[in-house]
A and B are shown apart, each in its own frame.
Chain A
Amino acid sequence: MSVITLTLNGELVSARTGQSLLEAIRDQGVKLPTLCHLDGLSTRGGCRLCLVEIGGSPRLLPACTTEAVEGMVVVTHNDKINHYRKLILELTFAERNHTCAVCVSNEHCELQALAAELGMDHVRYDYLDPDLGMDTSHEKFGVDHNRCILCLRCVRVCDEVEGAHTWDVRGRGILSQVITDLNRPWGESETCTECGKCVEICPTGALFDQGASVGEMKKDARFLRRILDGREKRQWQR
């Protein structure tokens, strides 16, 4: 495996060939915010929070979908990047109805925590107030589309880790919505194995356990690493 050299925030650092910029940056201990990215799942580049400035490029690029290459000059934090990250979060909040005070994931939500971390104290845009529904037809779980940020972690974990591919997406742009079994109610899904992986890796209160009340939905995405490590080391085979 060959080693490459790039300039990160003014310092020369090493990375491995084929690594994504996000991996290379995080390997150096630099924190980059992400919402759609989760180690172990395929890369999506949807949330755009890991935008970085790359020498020679007139626009900001997402670090997760950009490969680290020799000689690259990368800046991860400056006023321009911070401005756009905050703007993206504000648009995300304006697009659906993220009312934190009455959310099952209040105080355990990645979106809520990132907003505070990145200095978002209000939203400058008009809220769209869409009339999105909920699906509580499943015996164990529920989905509140008002809380969904379309990170598609649920779609990917269901397909790539559980192998069920119950989740998919319909519509385009802000009309996109995650669906189960070609838009049948979740409770009537013939493919759902009820494993709960989608619920556990959802960064907001969009997917939740039935019966969870405000602030009760605590999630732990670390299980995914344990599963994937186990697979890699063949711990599950007799």
Chain B
Amino acid sequence: MNAEPQKVRLATVWLGGCSGCHMSFLDLDESLMDLSEQVELVYGPLVDAKTYPENVDLCLVEGAVTNIENLELARRIRTHTKIVVSFGDCAVTGNVTSMRNRIPVKDLLTAVYQQARAPIGPQALEVLPALLEKALPLHQAIRVDVFLPGCPPVPERISAVLDALLKGQEVELSPPLRTFG
């Protein structure tokens, strides 16, 4: 009896983003069924795994690198992943997440946690991971293999990229599929 072909080990990661890219991923709808036959989802918001595993073949990383936790995870992803995809505008350009970059971190935290009438107060600063001076596009923190822009990338873009990668082909998005925004 032939052994079943080994599935591609897929991870999805949510760094400093709004999860819109993951929502768009879910919008693949019935294509997810086909995808599930080819991949094993080993890590992500939809998987109950606490630690980013080793030997990951393909990882979609959503969001900018905004704090030290993001940075540590991004580095671990790079070490343990064959193909890293910058997934969506926040990962590719910094996008909305990086709009804080013109404000010094100290002023930002003061405005949000000390001065604003928020349900969370200064005590939150004791447990929150320290913010980086600037929110970085993923490729400024680690080497990235494939860029998948869009806010969020529409399912057709995600399909185009996954199809190519799962077939072992180079990703070449047509101009309408590679716009920012």
Q: Real complex partners, A and B?
A: yes
| Interface residues in chain A, defined as those with a beta carbon under 8 Å from any beta carbon in chain B | 93, 97-103, 106-107, 112-113, 115-117, 119, 121-124, 126-127, 129-131
Are B175 and A116 neighbours in the complex by a CB distance under 8 Å?
Answer: yes
Expressed in whole angstroms, the minimum distance between the Cβ of A55 and any Cβ of chain B is: 30
User: Contact between B98 and A129 (Cβ–Cβ < 8 Å)?
Assistant: yes
Once bound together, how far apart are the Cα atoms of A129 and B101, in whole Å? 6
Q: A97-B99, A101-B151 are in contact. List 17 more A-B contacts (CB 8 A).
A: A99-B95, A101-B95, A102-B96, A112-B180, A113-B179, A115-B180, A116-B175, A116-B180, A117-B175, A121-B147, A121-B178, A122-B149, A124-B139, A126-B140, A127-B94, A129-B102, A131-B102
B173: interface (CB < 8 Å) = yes
Chain A: which residue is nearest B92 at the CB level?
A: A122
Q: Verify A121–B181 contact, CB threshold 8 A.
A: no
Q: Are A122 and B139 in contact (CB under 8 A)?
A: yes
* Most chain B CB neighbours (cut-off 10 Å) among A103, A126, A129: A129
Q: Say whether B137 faces chain A, with CB atoms less than 8 Å apart.
A: yes
Residues of B within 8 A of A123 (CB): 93, 137
Given the known A-B contacts A121-B149, A122-B139, A129-B134, are A101 and B102 also in contact in the complex, defined by CB atoms under 8 Å?
Answer: no
Interface size on B, residues (CB 8 A): 26
- B166-181 CB mask vs A (1 if < 8 Å, else 0) is 0000000101101111
**Which parts of B114-152 form the interface with A (CB within 8 Å)?**
134, 137, 139-140, 144, 147, 149, 151
22 A-B residue pairs with CB within 8 Å: A98-B180, A100-B151, A100-B179, A100-B180, A101-B89, A101-B95, A101-B180, A101-B181, A103-B181, A107-B181, A112-B181, A116-B178, A116-B180, A119-B175, A121-B173, A121-B178, A122-B137, A122-B147, A122-B149, A127-B98, A129-B102, A131-B102
